[in-house]
Homo-oligomer: A and B are copies of this chain.
């Protein structure tokens, strides 16, 4: 169910993160080692920041490993902050609007995992989306509905709280509709400056998530590694699974945690979705809906 990568740091050619590493994201599209499936061939997407506050997004239904445009773009686009995602569909159609990352204004969002019983929960969750945001939903995926719920709950002000509230809503809907363990996965989101990554599942057994060690520490560990000299101090990479085997480089984000990365600093904190009366559904549902 998908693999992803989020890069923040010194401006880099996309191909250096997407194609060059031994176990690069493109390699993972055919040979994922930690994913739910080994093949992630149901489309892909990249999003990057450059000119202007809004990121560019390039998404396609082709498998990442055979897309000539992705290869060419990755060899020519440089960015200090970019997302990349390879998709393994859990059933929804293979179409560009179902590919990650999703964009709204200056925000990007991507997700690995699923909402269990989404068929049963979808209508409840879509109704909780702010009616003014609702018509902007383009695809069919659980991941995009999660994004619009988070936007509804204040993603632009406080991402950790908005994402927690979103998953609280999913879990509340699951209890209402008799779906066990409704949420599973990892999420990455950014405003073009800071990066937030989340790892959580209702059953307490989440998809993997890793964050690289800070560059000064890695340089001290590997004083002769040329690659490290080319990267700025604030460079960080968050990934579904490591791109290589360098000891000390890949740190697993613990179960039920999130991290915020800014200026190369990363802070990891517990992630606890609200429950019960705290998982309140947005009031617009009653308010904005004329009988």
Contacts and interface: CB of A to CB of B under 8 A. Distances in A.
Given A39-B30, A39-B39, A51-B76, A140 B62 contact: no
Interface in A21-49: 30, 38-39, 41-42, 48
A224 interface: no
Give the interface size class of chain A. Answer: 35 or more
A71 to B, nearest CB: 10
Contact of A63 (B41, B48, B289): B41
Nearest to A69: B58
Copies of this protein chain in the complex: 4
Contact of A56 (B72, B93, B120): B72
Nearest to A134: B123
Nearest to A55: B76
A69 B59 contact: yes
A99 B83 CA distance: 28
B94 A62 contact: yes
B95 A93 contact: yes
Contacts of A38: 38-39
Given A50-B76, A123-B131, A127-B127, A89 B60 contact: no
A135 B123 CA distance: 7
A93 B89 contact: no
Contacts of A30: 39
A287 interface: no
| Most chain B Cβ neighbours within 10 Å, of A57, A66, A289 | A66
A72 B69 CA distance: 14
A179 interface: no
Nearest to A281: B291
A140 B68 CA distance: 16
Interface string A159-201: 0000000000000000010000000000000000000000000
A57 B77 CA distance: 12
Contact of A78 (B51, B122, B123): B51
Interface string A63-101: 101111100110111100000000001000111110000
12 contacts: A13-B51, A41-B66, A48-B76, A52-B76, A57-B72, A67-B94, A93-B95, A97-B140, A122-B135, A123-B135, A126-B126, A139-B140
In order of increasing CB-CB distance, the 6 nearest A-B pairs are: A56-B76, A95-B95, A119-B135, A66-B94, A41-B41, A123-B134
